[in-house]
Amino acid sequence: MRGIYLILLCLLLQSGAGYCASPAYELYLKGDLQKAASAYMALAAASPANPTPLLNASACLKQAGLYRRAARALVQALERDQLNPDIYSELGWLRFHLADYEGARSAFETAIQIQPLHARAELGLASVYSNLNEKEKTLEHLDKYRQLRPDFAGVDYILAWNYMNFNMRDEAEKALIEALRKDPSFTEARLPLAGIYARQGKFNEAWNEYYRVLDYAPGHPIASKMIKVLEGKLTKQPEEIRPPFRITKPLVMAPLDALAKLSPSVKIRVGIGTGNTGKQGRNNFLKIKSFEGMTVTGKASGKVYATIPPDETWTAVYEDGKVTLKGPDGTVYGHFSGHILVKPAKPEGSVIFEASAKIKNPWFRGGDRQYRGYMELYPIAGRGIGVVNVIAAELYLLGVVPSEVAPQWPYESLKSQAVIARTQVLIRRAHGGVHKAEGYHLCDGQHCQAYKGESIEANTTDRAVVDTEGEILTYHGRPAYTFYHSNCGGWIQASKEVTGWGDSPYLVTKPDIAPGRHEDPLGPWDFNLWLTGNPDANCNYPGRVRSSEFRWMKIIRQKDMTFRVNKDYAVGEITDIIPLRRSPSGNVNSLRLVGKKKTVTITREHLIRNILGFSSLKSTLFEIEINRFKNGKIRNYWIYGGGWGHAIGLCQSGAAGLAGKYNMDYKGILDFYFPGTSIRHIKYVKKHK
């Protein structure tokens, strides 16, 4: 009885938003895609006038890789809804991926007849003509698509791809530069641009582009190889092509407002110059100075080994498993097998690491780095010098907030960032955190929270820290797990959905849309339209947030995909890639890779993001379409995605949107993303005046 009731309820709801917690939808979320499709088909049979169950069935079949059956379901749906351009457009895409170009063209053209300038259909027509090698028509429809999605870096990338096919090198170069202006992390666009420069004999430019590929995709095989090939051909020194950022001595006193206003807070330990996993980098040597002068003391002994005058640069060298300290003329002041402390002569002073091209760790190679508090240096066997910044929590936050968000963002969103960053600090300090073994509470990268030190501090973010001094977010009196990410793509993901994240009552799923507006999770068909479109969301905030963070795409060639996957899993030539389990937010939580030799299923968030192509996906919020030749072999993969990061907790771009579009204050923002939590003052702060 209850089952029938549920189906009836679903039928009612499906005429609306297309969502319902129906058994079919549950099967879809679980990744049981064929059963989900059958269940939607049963709903379609029970409700002969309603096209929605057929559309959902089609979307499940497509995700399962069954494009022919998916197309048949759409043809059936058209009998129930003859004037829906989205159905024609999607039918066109299925046919296009099956290499039925005539069928695809007619479906796209019908979509455009019903709705002129239908974005997806315009892109589809361009793609059909591109595969048919019809230059004029390809470019004509791509141009229309570009007018419809002007901020979308994917358009320029596809344009460039076609220009290269049509041997239009100058146009390709311009389109690639445009794609990279919109999305600097677009590795797939940077590689061909580097190739164009290399062929033009612009070796410095080519070298620089390959170097930037490595910034986003460390260890990228082509970029690593080409860097070495080009090194002998450069006409400028690497330092001239990529001039390091230099800190010069300020003529007047730097603004010390924040410093004067903040009361003493607990000291924390931060690993500096760390890599992707938060471990120390390869610091073969370091150049150290301070505008105020410094002392070097033994941590255990308390003995003063050196007093360094203001502005004088000393070096710490990793030699024979010890840290050797040398003065400017090379005089050795000691070999240390334990920890030494480098402290500025004045408490408000700072320690500076000077950039040098000879330091292996890119963090210290690329630019001067300046830190408040003091530094602890120690040898790490076989690796180099460990660098830990010991600093008062509130002063640390002055460097975190502008590293995590843009200081120009709406002010209340900066305050919300200060509160959640502070909460993270206290949790990790109390529990030791993931870097307990390394001897620090947090690393300075995205792994924990980004911290670039004093040189990035800004007036606005300073004020945000001062105005929220000592405030943290709590749940039932305990610090809350204030996870955050750059951009959710439009839906927040609940922590319990993701392997290894645990279940917190305030880390829930919800749409990142205007406060007070309600929206149900999207069914498979609506999800596809939403992800490939440009929907309204707090984090869709042009002018403040890069559009390439909210919506992105990649086209990956079959041989690149097979090569990348086989580096980690020996599955042989790839024959299918199927996202299985999804959160109600749409994020993929398990991914099946089918190869000629074997099949593997991946469930960890970072593994899913890293396996598809050479540079990792910005998020797990994606759909994958597989484009095949007539003979069924795979040509390439089209990945449509949204958001940047894990989509759990606070969406930084969305917080900017809530503050900027709706004038929401930071308490409202925190309540929006962490419902049920409250703000508390912590005790380390002695309230001033």
Encoded amino acid at 17, one letter? A
Q: Among residues 324 and 585, whose Cβ is nearest to Zn ion? A: 585
Q: Return the ∠ at Cα 235 (arms to 231 and 238), rounded to 5°.
A: 55
Integer Cα distance of 68 and 419 in angstroms:
51
Q: Which is nearer to Zn ion, 512 or 623 (CB)?
A: 512
Q: Which is nearer to Zn ion, 287 or 485 (CB)?
A: 485
DSSP assignment of 398-462, as one string? HHHHHHHS-TTS-HHHHHHHHHHHHHHHHHHHHH--TTTTTT-SEESSTTS-----GGG--HHHH
Nearer to Zn ion, 518 or 687 (CB): 518
Pick from 637, 546, 626, 556: which is nearest to 188 by CA?
Answer: 556
Whole-number minimum distance, CB 561 to Zn ion, in Å? 29
User: Rounded distance, CA 412 to CA 491, Å?
Assistant: 21
Give 600: exposed, middle or buried? Use CB within 10 Å, 0-12, 13-18, 19+.
middle
Nearer to Zn ion, 611 or 651 (CB): 651
Q: Looking at beta carbons only, is 66 or 650 nearer to Zn ion?
A: 650
- The least CB distance from residue 110 to Zn ion, in Å, is 35
CB of 194 to Zn ion, least distance (A): 31
* CA 139 to centroid of chain Cα atoms: 31
What are the tokens at 291? 């505008």
Distance in Å, CB of 513 to Zn ion, minimum: 9
Least CB distance from residue 277 to Zn ion, whole Å?
8
CA distance 471 to 464: 11
Pick from 448, 109, 41: nearest CA to 268: 448
Closest distance between Zn ion and the C-beta of residue 492, in Å?
7
The strand pairing partners of 317, in sequence order, are 285, 324
Name the one residue in this structure whose structure tokens are 């610090």: 479
Residue nearer to Zn ion on the CB measure, 192 or 281: 281
- In 290-410 the beta strands, taken as DSSP E runs, fall at 294-298, 304-308, 314-319, 322-326, 332-336, 340-344, 351-354, 369-371, 374-380, 384-392
CA gap 283, 292 in Å, rounded: 24
Minimum distance, C-beta of residue 370 to Zn ion, in the bound complex (Å): 21
Query: What's the token pair of residue 25?
Result: 């939808």
Helix runs in 251-387, H state only: 257-261, 362-365
Query: Cβ 377 to Zn ion, closest distance in Å?
Result: 19
Q: Which is nearer to Zn ion, 296 or 651 (CB)?
A: 651
Cβ 398 to Zn ion shortest distance, Å: 19
DSSP-H helix ranges across 15-50: 23-30, 33-46
115 or 446: CB nearest Zn ion:
446
Nearest-approach distance from CB 655 to Zn ion, in angstroms? 8
Q: How far apart are CA 206 and CA 196, in angstroms?
A: 8
Q: Phi first, then psi: what are they for 587, rounded to 5°? A: -65, 140
Q: Are strands 369-371 and 340-344 parallel, antiparallel or unpaired?
A: unpaired
How many Cα neighbours within 13 Å face the side chain of 357? 8
Label residue 486 left, alpha or beta by phi (over 0 means left) and psi (-120 to 50 means alpha): alpha
Closer residue to Zn ion in complex, CB, 53/278? 278
Closest CB to Zn ion among residues 548, 562:
548
Helices (H), 183-283: 187-199, 203-216, 221-231, 238-241, 257-261
Please report how close the Cβ of residue 652 comes to Zn ion at its closest, in angstroms. 8
In the bound state with Zn ion, the residue whose beta carbon lies nearer, of 584 and 654, is 654
Parallel, antiparallel, or unpaired for β 267-271 and 322-326? unpaired
CB hemisphere CA count around 401 (13 angstroms): 33
Task: State in angstroms the smallest separation of the CB of 488 from Zn ion.
Answer: 3
Q: Report, in Å, the least distance between residue 434 CB and Zn ion.
A: 6
In the bound state with Zn ion, the residue whose beta carbon lies nearer, of 142 and 488, is 488
Q: How far is the CB of 583 from Zn ion (least distance, A)?
A: 14
Residue ranges that bind Zn ion, judged by CB under 5 A: 278, 443, 447-448, 488, 512, 539, 651, 654
By beta carbon distance, the residue nearest Zn ion is 278
The span from the CA of 158 to the CA of 130, in Å, is 10
C-beta closer to Zn ion: residue 316 or 388: 388
3-state secondary structure at position 556: strand
- 304 vs 430 by CB, closer to Zn ion: 430
- Strands 484-485, 650-651: pairing kind: parallel
Min dist. Cβ of residue 447 to Zn ion (A):
4
Q: For residues 209 and 404, which CB has a smaller minimum distance to Zn ion in the complex? A: 404
Residue recorded with tokens 């420069």 = 197
Residue 60 near residue 28 (C-beta atoms within 8 A):
yes
Q: Minimum CB separation from Zn ion for residue 501, in Å? A: 16
